[in-house]
């Protein structure tokens, strides 16, 4: 996956923008107060606004003011989603998507239009004009258009702002799979406090046009570390598929974390506290991973209780029970529910 690095400056009303950072993850969130320079940064990266400094994507220099290099927007192969969405008002949803397809870059490995329509849930209103759409429908259409252009990089300004939380999580999950499968890095602006943030692997925070010193967390902070009070399930597994699936016997686990694809062996780690245990039948909960299991035993300590469960393939997992959770009995059927972002993959 190509790496994006930038060191750019621009005078804007109220402050001077001066930011330098490297996107070292597949999904990077750009956060900060309103008016801190987030949208301006995206526009400079897209080539819509000018600036001084340098921008490099992979082996290509997009901006180098010292060398008088400024690659125009149409040559950057960027899928850009602005806050104002900018859909063509005279074209239907499908017309907007097809227009992006006509301008599609030469990149061979790109999301297919049918896949975009399905996972952004656009199928019910493909023949409608933008004026006939809700805010969330317009936002998903604009996002679909950005994806349909065959981008090498996605720059998304508030992609979840008009979506309810459940839909936002589904869209975030799809973007994570697109990034992983098609090797497309994503830089997005987000104020959302919801579950979409679980898909961010790097967070860059701006304030008054400057990078906050603690903006980029150490990736180790995202890794589950286990002890007696906070156990972690560690399981040997096969190499992940291109769309981020891990096969554990007959059980398929979806992950968003990445590791060296050339590794000789793989381990999957899921913190017990990141798993929700639901008793009875199939739960009506939105999550990438819903795994059937059977409770085998319960252990209690001063810090709380844990349930030990067995999956169909015979492996045993441990789950932290909430303070108010019903304590299950041995032999009860259950489902383990957890997000793809909670499953951390390691290669060695």
Q: pLDDT tens across 289-327, in order?
A: 888 999 998 887 665 688 899 998 888 999 988 755 677
What three-state secondary structure class fits 80?
strand
Distance separating alpha carbons of residues 21 and 31, to the nearest angstrom: 13
C-alpha to C-alpha distance for 274 and 338, rounded to whole angstroms: 6
Q: Are residues 310 and 201 in the same domain?
A: no
Bridge partners, 15 (sequence order)? 12
Quick one: tokens of 163? Answer: 């979506």
Indicate the pLDDT class of residue 214, thresholds 50, 70 and 90.
very low
- Does residue 153 have a pLDDT over 90? yes
Q: How many CA atoms lie within 13 A of 220 on its CB side?
A: 1
pLDDT at position 222 over 50: no
The predicted structure's pLDDT at residue 195: 46
3-state secondary structure at position 194: coil
What gap in Å lies between CA 196 and CA 189, rounded to an integer?
12
Query: Domain range for residue 79?
Result: 4-220
Identify the domain boundary among 150, 185, 220: 220
Most confidently modeled range among 75-84, 162-171, 257-266: 75-84
Kindly report, residue by residue over 255-284, the tens digit of the pLDDT.
876 665 667 778 888 888 888 888 877 665
Task: Check which CATH number belongs to the domain holding 287 and give it.
Answer: 2.40.50.140
Confirm if 204 and 215 have CB atoms less than 8 A apart: yes
DSSP lists the bridge partners of residue 298 as 307
Last residue of a domain, one of 199, 220, 241: 220
What is the tally of structural domains in the chain?
Answer: 2
Residues 74 and 154 in one domain: yes
At residue 50, does pLDDT exceed 60? yes
- The C-alpha angle 254, 249, 344, rounded to 5 degrees, equals 35
116 in the same domain as 67: yes
CA atoms within 13 A on the CB side of 233: 27
User: Measuring CA to CA, which residue among 261, 262, 263, 288 is closest to residue 276?
Assistant: 288
Res. 192: pLDDT tops 90: no
- Residues 209 and 282 occupy one common structural domain: no
What length is written for the chain?
348
- Of 94 and 337, more confident: 94
pLDDT-derived band of residue 97, with 50, 70 and 90 as boundaries? very high
């Amino acid at each position: 996956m190509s790496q994006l690095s930038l060191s750019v400056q621009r005078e804007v009303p109220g402050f001077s923008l001066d930011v330098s950072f490297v996107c070292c993850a597949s999904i990077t969130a750009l956060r900060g107060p309103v008016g801190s320079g987030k949208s301006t940064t995206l526009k400079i990266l897209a080539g819509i606004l000018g600036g001084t400094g340098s921008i490099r994507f992979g082996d290509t220099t997009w901006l180098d003011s010292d060398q008088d290099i400024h690659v125009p927007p149409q040559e950057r192969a960027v899928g850009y989603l602005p806050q104002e969405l900018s859909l063509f008002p005279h074209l239907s949803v499908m017309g907007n998507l097809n227009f992006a397809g006509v301008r599609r870059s030469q990149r061979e490995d790109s999301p297919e239009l049918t896949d975009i329509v399905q996972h952004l849930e656009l199928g019910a209103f493909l023949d409608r004009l933008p004026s006939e759409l809700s805010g969330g429908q317009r936002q998903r259409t604009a996002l679909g258009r950005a994806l349909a252009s065959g981008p090498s990089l996605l720059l998304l300004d508030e992609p979840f702002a008009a979506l309810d939380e459940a839909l936002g999580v589904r869209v975030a999950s799809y973007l994570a799979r697109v990034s992983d499968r098609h090797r497309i890095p994503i830089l997005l602006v987000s104020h959302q406090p919801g579950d979409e943030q679980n898909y961010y692997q790097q967070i860059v925070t701006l304030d008054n046009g400057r990078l906050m010193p603690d903006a980029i967390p150490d990736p180790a902070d995202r890794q589950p570390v286990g002890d007696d009070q906070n156990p972690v399930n560690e399981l040997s597994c096969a190499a992940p598929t291109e769309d981020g699936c891990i096969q554990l016997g007959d059980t398929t686990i979806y992950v968003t974390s990445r590791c060296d694809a050339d590794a000789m062996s793989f381990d999957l780690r899921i913190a017990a506290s990141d798993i929700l245990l639901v008793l009875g039948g199939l739960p009506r909960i939105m999550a990438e991973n819903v795994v059937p299991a059977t409770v085998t035993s319960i252990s209690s300590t001063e810090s709380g209780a844990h349930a030990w469960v067995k999956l169909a393939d015979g492996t045993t997992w441990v789950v932290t029970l909430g303070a108010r959770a019903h304590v299950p009995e041995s032999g009860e059927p259950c489902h383990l529910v957890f997000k793809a972002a909670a499953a951390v993959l390691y290669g060695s």
